[in-house]
Structure 1
């Protein structure tokens, strides 16, 4: 076969081939696809409205006339015949759709970029996902339908962005139509449809869903314009015999293309032929035997628009950041998952052995495993296996869920440590830091819960499916990323050092590993949630104002400090950055910041924590760079030492508060100061002279691209944190449930660290109970979750932000209690935190707060006393609580506490001490079924009392008391039992006196 060019037109000469070709303009494929796709959806909509209108607009909440427009799922998947007509037409559409994908790849393919191939693959996945949610309807399998729909929507992003990038510069109108006419409204409708969904507004939901579908079809129709501008045609012919005959087939104008001829060494000047090769890229042909069909694509210029290397590099960087986010998410999920068993055992349960999963990276000392993990497909395989940790939310059994999380941690640790072993430590350090900031931001946006943790699901605030879909996209980018030369090993099994780093090895690999292990634990312990250092410094209210920062308002400041710390090594020159971050004075700055954070409270302590965040984040790239410099046979030992240090610090951190439940715990009882000092001592090994290299100025090598991207991404994350805070900011301040009645409901609930009976987060179920019970004042116990094993969470965030409450968190994590919290619809005038006497057992927290209840000051005391194993502690704690309540006499008092005693028990049991010495009354002394929780009061009228079953939220009950204030200015004293316990039928009382609404049921 040969090609010749003459003037402005070219001809393709075939030899003895009796073919009567049929030429079809490729743009017709796009037109056919658009017509059939629109016909499929439109016919389903019209038939559905005509035949089953009221049935397809009806949903689980309402029907016609409240809901008057059907959703896509109800229209295409519920009723005959619209479902069948739609599925037949959409099946016919599949042919043109696959043809569109292939044709777009054909006109954009090039050997200089993998982007067209990657977009081709995304297009195939997108089409298959479309077929999935079309043929697997929500009635068939709701979860599968949702997953495939989300996958389809997510694939739209790279498909459309890739189409924009592959649009040639001279196709100006196509580019404008693709971007301005379609992308922006598509994103807008997606956000309205999936994110800002309004309960009950199903009709609006349906409009967004239909808008997404039709805009999607319109986007694909724009491909026809590309095909026309490229003069792309399809020639379909039937070979009549195998003989060969010369025949000229005219080709369209060349349009200044650099066509390459075959068997013709003399190019024509007018066609600007640049060279002679054996293939002609402008023409692709499939030659078949006699009697078979062949397809010949012919066109003008072969389009080779390249995705700029910078854009592909940014895409890879974004994927790396998200994979780092997944690393933090999966790593932190292990401790929260295993802690479920410790909560139920109140001691060592055996599940703690899962902590030794962190030793997995030591396996990289095995040379074959290390070599495989360092390959692209080894990394991709491990990342895919780690997705088990995200999918574990579907597992109902807590033990099986723990095993899945363990497997995910093994995979993610091997993959992440393999990345750290490549020698590019500075880049990996920056990624680790940005992933941490992104993880903390996601928790701040999701009420202090990581949205992809397996302890969450759709009902408890999880976005597990969304996280998995984005993870798949990130892994696909990693799989299609252009490969870099692998690090080769010598025969001895040692990895060769990069030439420019060969002499930049720390003097002691043990020192660098210890420093990295301590820094890793410090970041996990203090900075995986933006409110942890706020909890360390919080002391309550004074004169109606908080003394220190508020978690939901000032959490973004923590993220800003973390970002600033990571930006420092990115923007400073290499020599200045290395000299500063390894200097003893910089380490002294970190120690001073940690001391201020530990020793001081309120804003001063918070500022110390912010500076400590700056210090820790700033040294992360250099510490990881030093540690990753050690390769070969020391890789396994290095990782073993790193995580041995981390595990020891994890245990020590828990034992400072859980000393009563572990052997030898008394040695670390309430000694957070020792643990913090050990952390800093270990981190010091990364500073001069321990961590200095033989050439300090060349240790921290940071590529210029990284220096550009880090500030940009961190600024975006910081801005996002501020926007999230504004989004969550309540429009109206807290108001009581029964304003103007001088009536309020108070409750006490031990919520077991926000973990329900099957190991899921219980914040939203707690919120629902509080809302349904209309609790104006509620004490929550076992709420101090700012530790690694609890997930560094804040259990008050959901109720406070969504229901509107003033919040006072009890003594913080640095004061070694299980925690107490007070939520109030009434302003908190001032509050004080107490550590009750505990010479033998665990520390007991208490909150003493004065509330402005309808203009009357009332003292509310929330406390959590010690266990029954320590009678002296309970006696001393009860006397202190009685003193606090008696000291406020004659001011009204409501006591909401966990007291290990039986009703009416004599001294030295706590009951008699609290009631008689505290000058208070029991809300119902005839209730003998109580054991731990009690409500006591003085100076108010008690009108109702109830104990509420909790469903699966926790294994404890919620106790509620309803009180009415006396007339303004009138003080109740010496209330007799008869005056306090007058009985009445609820039918004779006003509606606002009804305590528990009928029909309430919780799960």
Structure 2
């Protein structure tokens, strides 16, 4: 028997052409929006925000590297384009020679015109570019007219939409060009991009046409007679090839060879590739849909707790978590049957996408309502998928979490699709468009797609339902709390030294990627590894160091915990799926999400107990919350495997096999995610931390203290970038931030230091982590942090108070800097004990000391109030003891020369002002002499003009609430910074 000859499918060639076309335009759009957004949306009429979506020409032709990437991909696409033209010509020529010649001629001219307007951009030659573009569109008339006869009904809808789209596109172009209406060009751009997409999809119709005819192109492995070019031999799979006009004799191979070639070409069914483009698109769309689900699930607590943290109490919006109980609707048989259909799942996905589109709404309540609706839909869809019993759906759910975590890592700790981000993030429209493409892919998926999973068989009602339901709820919360952001486990282990949250977070993603191979092991490799008790012991025992240890030992244990939790996830979902088919999906998935709700609140009460009646029971008991999760997970493991001759899971059917392409697609996706996460430090290295040049010249540094209220501004939006702008505008060198521990579900597992550290160049200490039960404190410094120690201040009556004690190398001088958040007004004993602890730390330091903290006291309040304790026992000076209008934020110092002090209004970012002090550092080896440390020398007040310009604060922040300032920030209370002369002879 002759050896099998490798072949090239004509349909595969068409798919390659479509993929390259889509990749060229989508990559250009993504790169242009990421690198030159404001420039590409600006036109001769208006710019951002009136114009906010770029035209095709601006995207592909104006800037590097998007222009080069686009042109490269289009050039690569020319080969498949001309090959398809020749292939279509040979197919159509026997029956319709005139039409075949017309298609070949117009197709070739159309392709050359496309190359013309691609490589001669509007920036190179505006008129030439427009003429070639117009030629391309005009050539589409004969191209599509002739193509309708060749492709049949498949091409008609695409052609119709293409020509109908020209009408609104021309209208908006006239509005822009003639009437100069701001925003019209953005609407024109939408139709222009739609025209491009419709054009590509129309050219993709040969995929189905070539698949129907079973056309194959033999490659060079087949030895043909000399000078005889390879023939394209059509063969219909349903019947033999009908006789056609005979080709010229010199071009025909000998009959035996031709017969051999036809015989070795497999039929369409036999040659269906296991990893086809269609299967890959289906896999990508399913994973993206799971990412949408995780986006909504993680957005729900972060959105609703805006109200709770501003009121510091339960206010009723917490009932929004009940949206996750939508699987209870499956108790209605009609709904349970409906949700298993493709249209129902697509409808739920569409609702989720619409909910995420609520980021444009200014009202926090409106955004919360939209997120509730989206969560209701996605939880119902997830219940339908899990009820169907597909192993593939369980895998995709966990892969969606990996995509969500990677997206957060790439986007500085925020999910770019969250409604708490505003339109300035520029990511929503692109990601929602990708969601629409994923939805379209799911709706158009043929029944033959390997990812169209059949329903699993029913399970006898003897199967238990409560334990799998409880385990699923514990799993959902564990994945949400500890694995939804790769930096969370770093924060749990952070002790001021290592590991680093911005550098080592990708290791969490690497550990979590064990899910892919584990899911493959679940369906292929005995024994059933994800159900083995050894995996449970790994998960449970590795959770102990997360609470009891710190540093690298805790983080390594956290990596093992992440790997185990991700590995067992599909198995636990499979258990719950079997229980749902046996005893009812409503009760199983309803109870699971009820467990998630309980754990969300209980996990929050470990630190927020002071504001909830009865919540003191959970005070600082994260260990018990973790232990409860482990106990709920335990029954899902096959404990009978530890006993000889005893079968395990007698009533649990085996997990159904994964579709054939799933293994390769899963491993490829995980490899891409890991490559993306590890490339972040290389692709976006932070600038080297250094103070402003004027500060270094005069040995000055500016330090600020700011209570940032969990990174949510007055409008319920993430405030990282607004904080960055103010810190940059005031040229701060050292910043203490309070209320920053957001590594818990109710705050979105966010890191408030990422943006400032990366864009402004700061060394960072994120302070005690979530397992330390504080509201959080963080230190950012443009000076090296030599040593950092975390303290939990005495708190017998109230919340634990965090403190960071760090030694900074400031122009060669060691300066002890302390950032602390003390107790509330309701706990006077706590405040007294905490003040004494801080005074001891400050008094013991042999270096100059700077204190930046939240201290609930009035200036000059006597003992037991903290003010006198800290200033007297700690041997500290108030930055300005004559400022009596303070309550919670204070700056104290010793061994430094204070030269300026300012209070800056909060704007819309938080509920507390930013206080800033400017200090001069004595030269290395010098100290502030006692004669310079008197009250008289320290209060040599001065006007700004009396000081050197290096000491001046930025002038743009002069103003008031009605005019002046920047983004609502201005010097208030004194309406100007206060300046102080250096004592005569100060050695700086």
TM-score band w.r.t. shorter chain: 0.7 to 0.9
For residues 521 and 148 of structure 2, what CA distance do their matches in structure 1 show? 40
Contact 1:570–1:710 at 8 Å: present in 2 too? no
Q: Which runs of 5 or more residues in structure 1 are unaligned?
A: 1-7, 14-20, 46-68, 76-81, 174-253, 273-302, 489-494, 541-545
State the partner residue of 1:793: 750
Note the 1:630-709 alignment, pairs <5 A.
630-631=580-581, 634-689=584-639, 692-694=648-650, 698-699=654-655, 701-709=657-665
CA gap of 1:257–1:709, structure 2 versus 1, over 3 A, is: closer
- Secondary structure, counterpart of 1:576 in structure 2: coil
Q: What root-mean-square deviation, in Å, do the aligned CA atoms of Structure 1 and Structure 2 show?
A: 4.1
- Encode CA deviations 1:91-127: one digit per residue, 9 max, x unaligned: 99767547646765764679xxx9x899889978997
How far is 1:417 from its partner?
Answer: 1.6
State the partner residue of 1:820: 777
Contact 1:129–1:149 at 8 Å: present in 2 too? no
Contact 1:154–1:470 at 8 Å: present in 2 too? no
For residues 135 and 521 of structure 1, what CA distance do their matches in structure 2 show? 54
CA gap of 1:857–1:382, structure 2 versus 1, over 3 A, is: same
How far is 1:576 from its partner?
Answer: 2.0
For residues 236 and 152 of structure 2, what CA distance do their matches in structure 1 show? 16
1:587 to 536, 547, 553: 536
How far is 1:313 from its partner?
Answer: 1.1
For residues 881 and 768 of structure 2, what CA distance do their matches in structure 1 show? 30
State the partner residue of 1:183: none
Bigger shift: residues 373-382 or 392-401 = 373-382
- Encode CA deviations 1:387-437: one digit per residue, 9 max, x unaligned: 12220110001111111111111111112221111111x212211111111
- Encode CA deviations 1:106-150: one digit per residue, 9 max, x unaligned: 64679xxx9x89988997899799779756758235765666667
- Secondary structure, counterpart of 1:840 in structure 2: coil
For residues 266 and 744 of structure 1, what CA distance do their matches in structure 2 show? 85
For residues 585 and 627 of structure 1, what CA distance do their matches in structure 2 show? 21
1:721 to 673, 677, 681: 677
Contact 1:126–1:156 at 8 Å: present in 2 too? no
State the partner residue of 2:936: 978
Contact 1:783–1:795 at 8 Å: present in 2 too? yes
State the partner residue of 2:923: 967
How far is 1:710 from its partner?
Answer: 1.8
How far is 1:348 from its partner?
Answer: 0.8
CA gap of 1:815–1:120, structure 2 versus 1, over 3 A, is: farther
State the partner residue of 2:512: 562
State the partner residue of 1:332: 298
Q: Does 1:951 align with 2:907?
A: yes
Give the TM-score of the pair, scaled to structure 1.
Answer: 0.75
State the partner residue of 1:479: 443
State the partner residue of 2:807: 850
- Secondary structure, counterpart of 1:807 in structure 2: strand
- Encode CA deviations 1:814-843: one digit per residue, 9 max, x unaligned: 010000000001111111111111111111
- Secondary structure, counterpart of 2:513 in structure 1: helix
For residues 842 and 932 of structure 1, what CA distance do their matches in structure 2 show? 16
Give the TM-score of the pair, scaled to structure 2.
Answer: 0.76
- Secondary structure, counterpart of 1:26 in structure 2: helix
Note the 1:831-850 alignment, pairs <5 A.
831-850=788-807
Q: Does 1:431 align with 2:403?
A: no
1:932 to 888, 891, 896: 888
Note the 1:215-614 alignment, pairs <5 A.
268=243, 308=273, 310-311=275-276, 312-424=278-390, 426-459=391-424, 461=425, 463-483=427-447, 498-499=456-457, 502=459, 507-540=463-496, 546=497, 548-571=498-521, 574-578=524-528, 580-614=529-563
For residues 497 and 863 of structure 1, what CA distance do their matches in structure 2 show? 57
2:103 to 22, 26, 37: 26
Q: Which runs of 5 or more residues in structure 2 are unaligned?
A: 1-91, 219-230, 248-266, 642-647, 958-964, 969-988
CA gap of 1:570–1:260, structure 2 versus 1, over 3 A, is: closer
How far is 1:368 from its partner?
Answer: 1.1
- Secondary structure, counterpart of 1:377 in structure 2: helix
1:994 to 952, 961, 973: 952
Contact 2:700–2:920 at 8 Å: present in 1 too? yes
- Encode CA deviations 1:373-397: one digit per residue, 9 max, x unaligned: 2111111111111112220110001
CA gap of 1:916–1:258, structure 2 versus 1, over 3 A, is: closer
For residues 611 and 471 of structure 2, what CA distance do their matches in structure 1 show? 30
Contact 1:569–1:577 at 8 Å: present in 2 too? no
Contact 1:829–1:851 at 8 Å: present in 2 too? yes
For residues 516 and 128 of structure 1, what CA distance do their matches in structure 2 show? 53
How far is 1:709 from its partner?
Answer: 2.2
For residues 918 and 157 of structure 1, what CA distance do their matches in structure 2 show? 72
State the partner residue of 1:860: 817
Note the 1:91-240 alignment, pairs <5 A.
97=140, 100=143, 107=150, 139-141=182-184, 144=187
For residues 905 and 143 of structure 2, what CA distance do their matches in structure 1 show? 59
For residues 555 and 982 of structure 1, what CA distance do their matches in structure 2 show? 49
Contact 1:154–1:469 at 8 Å: present in 2 too? no
CA gap of 1:160–1:561, structure 2 versus 1, over 3 A, is: farther
For residues 185 and 673 of structure 2, what CA distance do their matches in structure 1 show? 34
Contact 1:653–1:672 at 8 Å: present in 2 too? yes
Q: Which has the higher contact order (CA 8 A, sep 6+)?
A: 1
Contact 1:896–1:936 at 8 Å: present in 2 too? yes
CA gap of 1:786–1:162, structure 2 versus 1, over 3 A, is: farther
- Encode CA deviations 1:188-242: one digit per residue, 9 max, x unaligned: xxxxxxxxxxxxxxxxxxxxxxxxxxxxxxxxxxxxxxxxxxxxxxxxxxxxxxx
State the partner residue of 1:747: 704
- Encode CA deviations 1:860-909: one digit per residue, 9 max, x unaligned: 111111111111111111111111111115x2111100111112222222
Contact 1:837–1:844 at 8 Å: present in 2 too? yes
For residues 310 and 462 of structure 2, what CA distance do their matches in structure 1 show? 46
For residues 806 and 428 of structure 1, what CA distance do their matches in structure 2 show? 42
How far is 1:988 from its partner?
Answer: 3.0
Contact 1:590–1:612 at 8 Å: present in 2 too? yes
Contact 2:313–2:612 at 8 Å: present in 1 too? yes
For residues 506 and 976 of structure 1, what CA distance do their matches in structure 2 show? 84
CA gap of 1:33–1:843, structure 2 versus 1, over 3 A, is: same
Q: Does 1:893 align with 2:849?
A: yes
CA gap of 1:595–1:633, structure 2 versus 1, over 3 A, is: closer
How far is 1:155 from its partner?
Answer: 7.4
- Secondary structure, counterpart of 1:794 in structure 2: coil
State the partner residue of 2:58: none
How far is 1:796 from its partner?
Answer: 0.2
State the partner residue of 1:246: none
CA gap of 1:821–1:12, structure 2 versus 1, over 3 A, is: closer
User: What is the aligned length?
Assistant: 822
CA gap of 1:486–1:134, structure 2 versus 1, over 3 A, is: same
How far is 1:26 from its partner?
Answer: 2.9
Contact 1:845–1:863 at 8 Å: present in 2 too? yes
